[in-house]
Amino acid sequence: MSRDRFDLALTRRRFLELVAASAAFTAAGCDLGSRPLPAYPFTLGVASGDPLADRVVLWTRLAPDPLAAGGAGGMTPEPYTVFWEVAHDEAFRSLARAGSAVADASLAHSVHVDVNGLEPDRWYFYRFHAGGHVSPIGRTRTMPARDAAPALLRFASASCQNYKEGFYTAYAAMVQEDLDLVTFLGDYIYESGGSGPVRAHDGPRIQDLAGYRNRYALYKGDANLAAMHARCPWIVTWDDHEVANNYAGLLADENGPDNAQPPEFFPQLRAAGYQAWYEHQPVRLLPPKGGSFRIYRDLAFGDLAKLFVLDTRQYRTDQECGDALVPVCEGFPTEGGDMLGPAQESWLLNGIGASSSVWNVLAQQVVFSPTPIGPLRNFDQWDGYPLARQRIVDFLRAREPRNTVVLTGDIHAAGVGWVPGLTPGNPNTFSDPVASEFVATGISSDGVDEATANLITTLFQSYPHVQYFEAVTRGYTRHEVTRSEWRADIRFVETTLEETSPVFTAVSYVVENGNPVPQEA
């Protein structure tokens, strides 16, 4: 974390004296001792995330030339002081906290300020200063206290925002919603090169840290995405494309170009992808060291909802039958197949077991429920790790009430259903509901063509646990959570070929407290 260099209990009067001093320094081309910058540095906007009852993480990155060669964003290698303010009002007349942080070249001149001493369940405004420049204003909030009993949580779940395949039209719609937070479920960037129907990636397929840094800079330069980050706090996890398609642990996709590289190449590439992810996300985590980076964590919205943020990429074993859509291979599944790894799985089950929240939420990446497509399986999903899934299902089966909700991304399709209790050795037994699952379609990433989507939809309609499936249209899922029910609205935009578009609710489902089967509203 960035170290604060001001006392967080700074009085308002003292801070105003410093602001006055700052104006004098700015007139001289300085900012409280900081060097001038060559151009406006806040080109990537601001963000906040991982809110707790008394604190929230504020993020920005200094990048006056965000796509400059080398990934440094146009900054020189020296560290730079960035000042920040948190206020009760948008005009910053009533300051709550203020301080400074060091933006260092080792982290691409990004800053992660964990602002503490805030009041629970309250909205705030924040901004940064550097080199005589002022950032956009962000809006953020704290969670209700752990022992509070909030009546309502409103948030959106989103995933899969391939820049070259469409505009971020969904965020232009989402920013109009009255949301407490956003959960982003992976594929924030895509590592590929090339162009799409409306815009292009900034270079070829990513091969190093500079490439990842510039790809994040390209994505974060999108006005709709930046506006949504500034609107409310985000809770973010990753999937595969933050590194490379369908990777598993330290293993590259067997059908991808990284598999042809020397053995040491992919672990180094993964480490670069993890570092760039940290540098560009508002997360309460220490910077990664080496090639491993624990990102699974939990957050609570009072006693209403406990969010368990999972990592289904870093600790998984290889996909036993490959990562293509193929029939079950001989010997599948083996006892060694694992999705979360022992430490994360133990943390998750212990956390759910100790939770007294009305709702327990798994914010994760790949489809959890069994969804065979005839004789074929997607072995990159939990269908490829059925014994690991069964351990979680068995644990949930024993809990009452059954108020676990699984949030999923990855497949560029919207889905609603319930998780069956399953029977060991028989993944086609769809009975004994233990949890609900809502799959958010992609923000902009392409789905399948309409004919294929219709075939899959017809098949899924024969499964009792799949209530809804749509793989053509882009958007997000809006969730409204109360103590008696969980409502999910599937929100679609009409097109991603324009930066703004009408948005509509395709369908809504409600899960009643104690009954994990979604009912169409």
The beta strand positions in 385-428, using DSSP E, are: 404-408, 414-420
The answer to whether residues 172 and 136 belong to one domain is no
Residue that is last in its domain, among 113, 141, 169: 141
- With beta carbons less than 8 A apart as the criterion, state whether 186 and 440 touch: no
pLDDT of residue 427: 57
- With beta carbons less than 8 A apart as the criterion, state whether 398 and 356 touch: no
How far CA 34 is from CA of 25, 28, 130, in Å, comes to 9, 11, 7
Output DSSP code: residue 246: T
CATH assignment of the domain containing 163: 3.60.21.70
Q: How confident is the model at residue 260 (pLDDT cuts 50, 70, 90)?
A: confident
Distance CA(302)–CA(274), nearest Å, equals 30
Q: Provide the mean pLDDT of the chain.
A: 93
SS3 per residue for 63-130: CCCCCCCCCCCCCCCCCEEEEEEEECCCCCCCEEEEEEEEECHHHCCEEEEEECCCCCCCEEEEEEEE
Exposed, middle or buried by CB within 10 Å (0-12, 13-18, 19+), for 395? middle
Q: Which of 288, 211, 210, 292 is nearest to 250 (CA)?
A: 292
Average pLDDT over residues 279-303: 96
| Residues ≥6 apart with Cβ < 8 Å to 292 | 314
CATH assignment of the domain containing 22: 2.60.40.380
The answer to whether residues 19 and 82 belong to one domain is yes
Helix (H) or strand (E) holding 14: helix 12-27
pLDDT in tens, 38-70: 899 999 999 999 999 999 999 999 999 999 999
Residue that is last in its domain, among 111, 141, 171: 141
pLDDT in tens, 225-255: 999 999 999 999 999 999 999 999 999 998 8
Distance CA(514)–CA(144), nearest Å, equals 23
The answer to whether residues 49 and 122 belong to one domain is yes
> What pTM did the predictor assign?
0.94
Distance CA(43)–CA(71), nearest Å, equals 14
Domain count within the chain: 2
Residue identified by tokens 């948190």 is 86
Helix (H) or strand (E) holding 269: helix 265-279
Tokens coding 45: 């906007």
How far CA 183 is from CA of 103, 141, 159, 412, 509, in Å, comes to 26, 14, 9, 16, 19
Distance CA(46)–CA(223), nearest Å, equals 12
Distance CA(318)–CA(263), nearest Å, equals 15
The answer to whether residues 91 and 173 belong to one domain is no
pLDDT in tens, 121-159: 999 999 999 999 999 999 999 999 999 999 999 999 999
Phi first, then psi: what are they for 62, rounded to 5°?
A: -80, 120
- With beta carbons less than 8 A apart as the criterion, state whether 388 and 342 touch: no
In a domain, 66, yes or no: yes
The answer to whether residues 175 and 98 belong to one domain is no
Average pLDDT over residues 153-170: 98
Output DSSP code: residue 369: S
pLDDT of residue 15: 39
In a domain, 150, yes or no: no
Structural domain that includes position 433: 156-494+512-520
